[in-house]
Amino acid sequence: MSAKSMEAKRMAAPARQYQLNNVVMTQIWLERRNQRQLFQAGKIKFDCASPIVSKDRKLRALTEEVGEVARAIDLLENAEATSKILSAKEHLRDELTQVAAVAIAWLEALEEELKS
């Protein structure tokens, strides 16, 4: 099948409506709430939701979280036993949730900046 006919077939297929996964969104919301609580308790030095935190600092925080995703992928690829695979997948999910929460915090700050 040619690329052109594959594209035509894809365009003709009925589009499925996208729905957010409530479990995933709840996990991200809980992580975001946890970040706020840690900041308010003085356990972390800054919150990416703050408009006064520099963009380069926010990028470093986000990049650090992405690095943790890379490490979680390494663990998953090296897991041998079924129990280790499940644990590694859960760890990857947790790290991806943290990436999403940091990105959302940055978006919150940007929204504040756009309002002013």
| Cα–Cα distance measured from residue 5 to residue 103, given in angstroms and rounded to the nearest whole number | 38
Of 94, 97, 95, 72, nearest in space to 85 by CA: 72
Are the C-beta atoms of 16 and 88 separated by less than 8 Å?
A: no
Structure confidence at residue 65 (pLDDT)? 97
What pLDDT is stored for residue 12 in this prediction? Answer: 65
The pLDDT profile of the chain, 116 residues, written as one tens digit per residue, is 667 766 666 666 667 888 889 999 999 999 999 999 999 999 999 999 999 999 999 999 999 999 999 999 999 999 888 889 999 999 999 999 999 999 999 999 999 999 98
Number of residues written out for the chain: 116
| Residue 8 φ/ψ region, left for φ over 0, alpha for ψ in the -120 to 50 degree band, beta for the rest | alpha
- Residue 110 burial (C-beta neighbours within 10 Å; 0-12, 13-18, 19+): middle
Please state, as a whole number, how many other Cβ atoms lie within 10 Å of the Cβ of residue 43.
9
Tens digit of each residue's pLDDT (9 = 90 or more) over 37-65: 999 999 999 999 999 999 999 999 999 99
The tokens describing 14, both together, are: 């009925």
Q: What is the pLDDT of residue 27?
A: 97
pLDDT of residue 44: 93
Question: What pLDDT is stored for residue 11 in this prediction?
Answer: 65
pTM over 0.85, yes/no = no
